Structure 1
Amino acid sequence: METTKTQQIEVPKLGLGTFKLQGKDCHEAVLTALAMGYRHIDTAEMYANEDAVGDALQDTDVPRDQIHLTTKVWWQNLAPDAIRKAFDQSRRKLKTDYVDFYLIHWPAPDMDLGAALETLLRIKDDGGIRAIGVCNFPLALMKQAVEDIGAPIACNQVEYHVLLGQTQLLGYMQDKCIPLTAYAPLAQGRLASFPELQLLAEKHGATAAQIALAWLLEQDCVMAIPKARSEASQRSNLGALDIRLDQDDRAIIAKLPKDQRFVNPTFAPKWDVG
């Protein structure tokens, strides 16, 4: 598995997302992925599945220190005391002494970002977190966190796929050597409707989803965490690591629409354009 390095931590570039996986399905999906070679598992307080992920971490033969585990604090819990309470609950459900990444899941309109990041760093200093990070932070908020506050941000997890450009944000993060973690990297199952991707899939003896993942994973400072419940889907996603795109392939992908955002709740920040 290829890795990328951030805050002195080596992180597998391809991980398993668990959004909407619940109970037994989540437990089995995580166990299957770990047995297959995945070493990067992503969850969140809001997913209501940290218990199931924690059970899988206990039930697997893979040592905890070989698994990169990410969880997140919900945007309504960003006051310092609320962050600490949320973290303690997450760690208890995950049945682990520490998490590798602890992220702010969404920015809150009225948040005190400095106080929130300071609280995360105090938890890190206490040994509960290996590194801190954020999700859904557009460029202006990233600059505030990194430049104004000076926080050691390990990643920014945002929606990113062949149908949604993140040129400005990714350029900034690459310049700062901060990985962008792509969620919804398969555009929530919409890729098969684009004949261009189907042609590329036929060329490489692959699927449209594998082409889309390969495009992400070949980029510097980009990781991806597709959700995959079944063993077949998990194995298919791993297959993307073996695909090598050429310049013609990238030119075709570049011509696809890049304004298709599928995750845009009412509390979302103002997004960057392009």
Structure 2
Amino acid sequence: MLPSHPPIGVNRVPSLGLGTWQNTDTERCAESVRTALEAGYRHVDTAQYYGNEAAVGRGIAAADVDREDVLVATKLHPEQSGLAREQVVEGVEDSLDRLGLDTIDLCYVHWPVGNYDAAETLAAFDELRDRGRIAHVGVSNFDTALLEEAMDVLDAPLVAHQAETHPLLAQDDLIEHAQANDYYHVAYSPLARGEVFDSPVLTDIAEARDVTPAQVSLAWLLSKENVCVVPKATSERHIADNRAALDLTLTADEIARIDAIEREERLVERDGAPWQD
């Protein structure tokens, strides 16, 4: 079992991160990153596709937090940078320049589509890790077969797999694979793009515990071994509300009630995604 709130270091990812998808206003994005870090977050998640790496970098630089205490994650996109070897190398250098960093702590393959080729793409990630340009390797939106292939190809350990995960899309098979293979399952869209606020089970538990449905959703995910969450938040209030989930421990009965939700709704789709095969 990986620790729930691990320190930065080899194969360690803080359990709560700040998601930045759709946070494209430069000033607001930089301010939300600064606010989150100064509120105790130690994990910031961005991507080339989000168009905000420069703003994220500004927020990191502005925060009164030591750089070495923060895990910064970004993702290489198959259409924006491409995933052939030279494209990966150039894409990482471009992301480093925008972020204003010397090293990306955790770099993901954003989608296994386009010109993604496990042998070529992941060899480039290994090369960049050997050169110190990235510290850890992750993948995103894979299925278990692609995860097995990636682990076979990589020289570096697979540290994280990021996938849409929330009470309405539990992803049990992916979480079990992460637990069995000792890497992190990083849940994106952990609040189901706000739909957790309309879930009778989550709202009932939230009312009984005098917390928010967002906190219940995040606490449910964090109750699972090897699971991290990267909820998006831009306001100081939402940043603090999400962080409060770290202090919420659900009972076994509450966890079982959420586990029993039968609705399975995927909110993120794209052509060629592995689950469409």
Q: Normalization by structure 2: what TM-score?
A: 0.93
Residue 172 of structure 1: how far off its partner (Å): 1.4
1:254 equivalent among 251, 255, 259: 259
- Structure 1 runs (4+) greater than 3 angstroms displaced: 4-7, 147-151
Q: Is the 8 A contact 2:8 2:14 kept in 1?
A: no
Residue 205 of structure 1: how far off its partner (Å): 1.1
1:56 equivalent among 54, 59, 63: 59
Question: Whole-Å Cα distance in 2 between the matches of residues 258 and 8 of structure 1?
Answer: 37
1:193 partner letter: D
Question: Whole-Å Cα distance in 1 between the matches of residues 276 and 184 of structure 2?
Answer: 18
Q: Is the 8 A contact 2:126 2:155 kept in 1?
A: no
2:202 partner letter: L
Alignment length, in residue pairs?
272
1:121-174 alpha-carbon deviations (Å, 9 max, x no partner): 111111111111100011110011113556521100000011102111211110
Instruction: Decide which moves more: 235-244 or 141-150.
Output: 141-150
Q: Is the 8 A contact 1:6 1:178 kept in 2?
A: no
User: Residue 209 of structure 1 corresponds to which residue in structure 2?
Assistant: 214
Question: Whole-Å Cα distance in 2 between the matches of residues 148 and 81 of structure 1?
Answer: 18
Question: Whole-Å Cα distance in 2 between the matches of residues 104 and 137 of structure 1?
Answer: 9
Question: Whole-Å Cα distance in 2 between the matches of residues 62 and 111 of structure 1?
Answer: 36
Q: Could you say what secondary structure the match of 2:107 adopts?
A: strand
Q: Is the 8 A contact 2:183 2:226 kept in 1?
A: yes
Residue 7 of structure 1: how far off its partner (Å): 7.7
Residue 4 of structure 1: how far off its partner (Å): 4.0
User: Residue 172 of structure 1 corresponds to which residue in structure 2?
Assistant: 177
1:3 equivalent among 5, 30, 35: 5
RMSD across aligned positions (CA): 1.8
Question: Whole-Å Cα distance in 2 between the matches of residues 165 and 271 of structure 1?
Answer: 17
Q: Could you say what secondary structure the match of 1:259 adopts?
A: coil
Q: Percent identity?
A: 36
Question: Whole-Å Cα distance in 2 between the matches of residues 69 and 176 of structure 1?
Answer: 23
Structure 1 unaligned blocks of 5 or more: none
Q: Could you say what secondary structure the match of 1:270 adopts?
A: helix
Instruction: Decide which moves more: 67-76 or 5-14.
Output: 5-14
Residue 252 of structure 1: how far off its partner (Å): 1.2
1:223 equivalent among 228, 232, 255: 228
